[in-house]
Amino acid sequence: MLTSAPPSASPILERSESRLSKKVFIKTYGCQMNVYDSARMADVLAPLGYTACATPAEADMVILNTCHIREKADDKVFSELGRLHQLQIEKERAGGRLVLGVAGCVAQAEGAEIARRAPYVDMVFGPQSYHRLPEMVARLARGGGLVLETEFPVEDKFDHLPQPSHQIGPSVFLTIQEGCDKFCTFCVVPYTRGAEFSRPVADIVAEARLLVSQGAREITVLGQNVNAYHGAGENGAVVGLGELIRRLAGEVGGIERLRYMTSHPRDVDDSLIAAHRDVGILMPLLHLPVQSGADRILAAMNRGHTAQDYRRIVDRLRDACPPLALSSDFIVGFPGETGADFEATMTLIREVGYAQAFSFKYSPRPGTPAATQGVQVAEPVKAARLADLQVLLAEQQHAFNESFLGKTLPVLLDRPGRQAGQLAGRSPYLQPVQVAASADLLGTIASVAINAARTNSLAGRLSTLPALAGVSAA
Ligand code: 5AD
Ligand code: SF4
């Protein structure tokens, strides 16, 4: 969510220069790619006079940047729209106007449904269309009802976006790849985000330099399938993610941490594994979703690898980079999943050991093959499996966090802490860390001696001991 609130303009200024002083509230659902897109929407709207505000009540325009990945995410959007409609009515009664936009993957997949269920929405546009916001706003001003932009435009959106300026803070996202050609049978992404597209290397390096000049110290490069990245190099050669990481580390002075997400086991190649060995600023936490530990479920999901393939990849990565820790996504209750299949997932989790993970009940998504294939697993069975799986994952996460007690970690302090006199930040493993520190350390990487570990966070005190990025503990 974009929450930076500019000083509010006086009402007189707002009336006389309304075109120059509008406010937009962008609410982000779902993945980091949406967080990046929301920041870029703010960049696109800035030349039209829109500045970000902190609440819908202050806004002239509210955009919901939506997620379609699971049914729950979808439902949230429609209930939020209901609330915003009330605000819209109140504003109209007071002689004002609130423009409502729905962006992102729900907009892409359910444009017509939104128009039917929420006819008060003014703009519906997909993830590939937001560079056209100025045109959409102009169309809206001319009247004529709902503005719908859910085509995949042939031209490249990245070529039409202004320079980024709306990501604030030392840790930022940079989208390098979009779309997915994998067609996992449970997933809507190939339908909402379209085919794989990789940005050229030179554009990414330039954007990274700009982000660093704006204060970024940690960059997470993003893609739905980030390690399927195959961007054009300057000399026409195709560059993969491993090579791109080397180039960013070598050519962009000032980056202190690099991460990438989300990757697919099938696209982990030798060059990427070597980058984990060689690139010191590549952080030692890898989010590598496996979804299931049962081969027949992996096949039904169309994942294109077995559980044993995944184990081998993890072993190779750990050989290359011993401090590497793993994160993953799991789906329980995929159609046809038996008790034995579920046990195979539990076994895989015990064998690999995870620093953190995300887990979900299978949610049938309209239009995807799995929604209508196989025998759907009963809801209570899904719920019981998810509970068991989450107990195991929480135990692992807790043990992982406890393994840092008494050790020193480098922490990128990026926000105020829970209590006065505290700052909070992230370890190389993305663990949130609370530390007593003065505000002038905000934005720096500090050595922190860890003295408390909980399942979801660490705490510690500033230390003079060196803590090197890329190693699990000093
Ligand atoms: N049901 C449940 N979980 C899903 N995911 C994607 N689609 C579905 C679905 N239909 C999960 C996967 C993916 C993560 C982003 O969301 O685990 O990796
Ligand atoms: Fe969805 Fe599979 Fe593509 Fe990931 S790899 S975005 S889960 S289809």
407-429 confidence digits (pLDDT tens): 999 999 999 998 999 999 999 99
The reported pLDDT for the residue numbered 208 is 97
> Does ligand 1 lie within 6 Å of residue 365's CB atom?
yes
The reported pLDDT for the residue numbered 162 is 84
Ligand 2, atom 2, lies closest to the CA of 184
The reported pLDDT for the residue numbered 236 is 86
Q: In the chain, which residues fall in CATH 3.30.750.210?
A: 168-283
280 CA distance to ligand 1 middle (Å): 31
Residue 63: name the closest of 24, 115, 5 by CA. Answer: 24
- Distance, CA of 241 to CA of 316 (rounded, Å): 17
Domain 284-402 fold is: Transcription Regulator spoIIAA (3.30.750)
- Distance, CA of 406 to CA of 86 (rounded, Å): 53
β partners of residue 178: 197
Query: Does the structure show a pLDDT above 90 at 100?
Result: yes
User: Which amino acid appears at position 440 of this protein?
Assistant: D
Work out the mean pLDDT of the chain and round it to a whole number: 91
Using pLDDT thresholds of 50, 70 and 90, give the confidence band for residue 5.
very low
- Distance, CA of 99 to CA of 60 (rounded, Å): 6
Write out the H or E segment, with its range, that includes residue 171. strand 171-175
Using pLDDT thresholds of 50, 70 and 90, give the confidence band for residue 374.
confident
Crossing angle for the helix pair 104-117 and 71-93, to the nearest 10 degrees: 60
> Does ligand 1 lie within 6 Å of residue 186's CB atom?
yes
303 CA distance to ligand 2 middle (Å): 8
The b-or-e profile of 336-358 (16+ CB within 10 A means b, else e) is bbeeebbebbbebbeebebbbbe
Query: Does the structure show a pLDDT above 60 at 6?
Result: no
Using pLDDT thresholds of 50, 70 and 90, give the confidence band for residue 9.
very low
The reported pLDDT for the residue numbered 36 is 93
The reported pLDDT for the residue numbered 428 is 97
Ligand 1, atom 13, lies closest to the CA of 329
- 16-20, 198-202, 397-401, 418-422: segment of lowest average pLDDT: 16-20
The reported pLDDT for the residue numbered 79 is 93
On whether the 408-462 domain is CATH 3.30.9, my answer is no
Of 10-24, 67-81, 187-201, which one has max mean pLDDT? Answer: 187-201
Count, residues in the chain: 474
pLDDT tens-digit series, residues 120-130: 999 999 999 99
Among the bound ligands, name the one nearest to the CA of residue 185: 2
> Does ligand 2 lie within 6 Å of residue 189's CB atom?
yes
Using pLDDT thresholds of 50, 70 and 90, give the confidence band for residue 186.
very high
359 CA distance to ligand 1 middle (Å): 8
Q: In the chain, which residues fall in CATH 2.40.50?
A: 408-462
Using pLDDT thresholds of 50, 70 and 90, give the confidence band for residue 72.
confident
Segment 159-181 mean pLDDT: 88
pLDDT tens-digit series, residues 250-275: 999 999 999 999 999 999 999 999 99
Q: In the chain, which residues fall in CATH 3.30.750.200?
A: 284-402
Q: Could you tell me the pTM of the whole model?
A: 0.90
The reported pLDDT for the residue numbered 20 is 60
Domain 168-283 fold is: Transcription Regulator spoIIAA (3.30.750)
DSSP secondary structure, 226-274, as one string: GGG-EEEPTTS-EEEHHHHHHHHHHHSTT--EEEEE---GGG--HHHHH
For domain 5-149, the CATH superfamily is Methylthiotransferase, N-terminal domain (3.40.50.12160)
The reported pLDDT for the residue numbered 3 is 32
Helix, coil or strand: residue 381: helix
Using pLDDT thresholds of 50, 70 and 90, give the confidence band for residue 154.
low
Using pLDDT thresholds of 50, 70 and 90, give the confidence band for residue 155.
low
Helix, coil or strand: residue 145: coil
The reported pLDDT for the residue numbered 166 is 74
> Does ligand 2 lie within 6 Å of residue 184's CB atom?
yes
> Does ligand 2 lie within 6 Å of residue 303's CB atom?
no
92 CA distance to ligand 1 middle (Å): 39
The reported pLDDT for the residue numbered 251 is 97
31 CA distance to ligand 1 middle (Å): 11
Using pLDDT thresholds of 50, 70 and 90, give the confidence band for residue 466.
low
Ligand 1, atom 14, lies closest to the CA of 329
